[in-house]
Structure 1
Amino acid sequence: MNLDSISPNDVILTGDRTTGPLHLGHYVGSLRNRVLLQERCTQFLLLADAQALTDNMGNYLKVRDNVLQVALDYLAVGIDPSKSTIFIQSLVPELSELASYYLNLVTVARLERNPTIKDEIKQRGFERDIPAGFLTYPAAQAADITAFKATMVPVGADQVPMIEQTNEIVRRFNASVGQELLVETRAVVPEHGARLPGIDGKAKMSKSLGNALALSASPDEIRQAVKMMYTDPNHLRVEDPGQVKGNVVFSYLDAFDDDVAAVAELKKHYRHGGLGDSVLKSRLEDKLQALLEPIRRRREEYARDPAAVLAMLKEGTAKARQVAAVTLSEVKAAMGLNYY
């Protein structure tokens, strides 16, 4: 992400589903950028518990409990609630009302053609048994974004179609009321494609796949995760040339090692032969231990006072409601729904 392109007038909306604590993939994809963004512009961070329920009905307690867990991760990485507004999605009912109006601006066929929705339906094996809330989530996400008139939304490359559909809804709404009321937004894809591979070499790090490393991981868990990381299965002897492409250890070094020149030299050495995987893994473990130790320590400190964290969320949610209520009032007035 080019932070030089961010101005104080920009409004950022981003967030995470509350289906589990956050991991290194989230850190690379968005968390570290959010810490920087809060110094440059207005930022709203959404704890997407309502979205989590679109495919977790029946797992209410998991979704609820992870609101606190994700909030702890936010605070632990350095997100400051005095600079970023952190709020709970389900406690801002204005978002649901906006979504109900936006659903009249999009067809079922268009929702089904959304590439992100199509892929996620396939991943979950829904076939035609698609929860209606899941299928219509693009309208709900449009409500989340437009309620705060966000000008930018940091997303992974696979989520760009969702932002495109938000802008379609914005244009259709504005055309229907004859004024430029809602603001189009821009998808911003962070470096590394906003996606870190799993430690097993699979394309996506995911807790459900068992290939993720939590931000709260202990030193032993970090050590074991690095030890298990996929490298080059054909690199059987130290003297053998090795493949860099698809090598998870190098993917992680690219993401977490600030010494770009040193990593480039390691890649050259590895391709030529004479560099063992253990050397690479030792370097990576040192980097991850140094990164996660202060995050884990701060998280433990915040976790000792959950009431204070919940109070912070209550305050942030109240602030978010005030902003969303203004947009909702404007939308209803433009539609002629201001009866008295």
Structure 2
Amino acid sequence: MYPERVVSGMRPTGAMHLGHYHGALKNWIKMQAELPCLFFVADWHALTTHYDDPSSLEKSTWDMLIDWLAAGVDPSQATLFIQSKVPEHAELHLLLSMATPLGWLERVPTYKDQQEKLQDRDLSTYGFLGYPLLQAADVLIYRASQVPVGDDQVPHVEMMREIARRFNHIYGKEKGFEKNAVEAVKKLGSKRAKLYTELRAEFQEQGLVASLDQAHALLNEAQNLSMIDRERLFGYLEGSRKLILVEPQVKLTTSSRLPGLDGQKMSKSYGNAIALREDKDSLTLKIRTMVTDPARVRRTDIGNPEKCPVWQLHQVYSDEDTKEWVQKGCRSAGIGCLDCKQPVIEAIIKEQEPMHERAQQYLDEPSLVRAIAADGCDKARKLAQETMRDVREAMGISYT
């Protein structure tokens, strides 16, 4: 019914680090060549936990966009924009809140988890409770087909699907829908109409998802349907409602979990991160002083790479020969920890060189970043406005 589309965003809460690159940005760069992608700076989301001090928000937003561009996100392939520059996100969030049960928000796993982890902050606000709903609006407003997430974010996408399903059930009503849908089936032509009817029955009576997918493909190929008839037939497949909002699918992303300098998960808040555009001298010093296997107190002590955070970096940055050299050298004390770290230092410097080069043009000419963001905001807003026209009409508040 609607074109395949990927939507994802990040909160601008500080400088991006290598964990962000290997955990998300590499996947973005891969996906932008495969499907239409919209990537946004989630500045409103940053306020859900940092509402009391937004002084660094604007700088962090521009810095994040530069980091994305430096990493290889391409504005000629993907749409880059700032969430708050597309006010339709807030409008859809508001309208969805009218029909979203409070219990749905309270049961989101990260709600209590974040409250426990961020006890230094007052998170007893609607903004924090409602952020999964704003997150849903961010995706549903573009009728995204896929949302790239890690395992921990799957419940959020499931909630988006439930919200879209509930909205369609409540507001996707149309007087005479069944009669109009039957008439629309006839417009497919006798052969396709017969196949559509069979696939619909298979899905509704037997729950065959393959039949639903085949019917979707049939409708997408049909050239002689109006948009409204196409919407009716998509809705008729699954029940008796028009589909106004699309239920997005989870796109599980592969990510390399990078340890921080202390062995914990890399995070700015832990003070253990290597920035995406780290200065060479700083990068070298950070890795040279990185913790290693505690058993290797002296150079002659043998070690175990499995107990050393540096080995986890080798898993990402080193080839098989280097990894074999590390295993043998560490376990026999044939190499020291500084010897072991050097290939990682060189690999990260090599990885970051093109990032520094790409970033420099935007640091020298900030207006380039602002132009990219402005263009992206215009493109995103046009898509968002199309959805909101349908949402307002379905809810009876279009006033035309």
How big is the alpha-carbon RMSD for the aligned residues of Structure 1 and Structure 2?
2.1
Aligned partner (choices 268, 279, 289) of residue 228 of structure 1: 289
Deviation of the 1:128 alpha carbon: 7.6
Alignment of 1:91-240 (within 5 A): 91-125=85-119, 129-176=123-170, 177=172, 178-192=241-255, 195-202=257-264, 204-238=265-299, 240=301
2 CA distance for matches of 1:240 and 1:32?
37
Task: Give me the TM-score of the superposition, normalised by structure 1.
Answer: 0.89
Q: Which runs of 5+ in 1 are unaligned?
A: 1-8
Q: Any stretches of 5+ residues in structure 2 without a counterpart?
A: 173-240
Q: Matched residues, percent identical?
A: 36
Matches of 1:110 and 1:126, distance apart in 2: 25
Query: How many residues are paired up?
Result: 329
Output the CA distance in 2 between the equivalents of 1:337 and 1:93: 17
Give the secondary-structure state (helix, strand or coil) at the position aligned to 2:268. coil
Structure 1 outlier segments of 4+, above 6 Å:
none
Alignment of 1:1-340 (within 5 A): 10-125=4-119, 129-176=123-170, 177=172, 178-192=241-255, 195-202=257-264, 204-238=265-299, 240-257=301-318, 259-260=319-320, 262-263=322-323, 266-267=326-327, 270-271=330-331, 274-340=334-400
- 1:280 Cα deviation (Å)? 1.9
Larger Rg over CA atoms: 2
- Specify the alignment match of 2:219 in structure 1: none
1 CA distance for matches of 2:67 and 2:361? Answer: 11
TM superposition shift of 1:107: 2.8
Distance 1:68 1:283, change over 3 A: same
TM-score computed with the length of structure 2 as normaliser = 0.77
Q: d(CA) in 2 for partners of 1:285 and 1:124?
A: 33
1:202-260 Cα shifts (integer Å, max 9, x gaps): 1x211122111111210011101211222211133455443333522121222233x24
Counterpart amino acid of 2:287?
V
Distance 1:311 1:101, change over 3 A: same
Question: Aligned residue for 2:206?
Answer: none
CA distance in 1, matches of 2:328, 2:4: 41
SS in 2 for 1:133: helix
Pick closer, same or farther for the CA change 1:136–1:288 going to 2, 3 Å.
same
> Structure 1 pair 221/150, CA: closer, same or farther in 2 (3 Å)?
same
Match in the other structure for 1:4 = none
Deviation at 1:127, TM superposition (A): 8.5
Kept in 1: contact 2:14–2:60 (CA 8 A):
yes
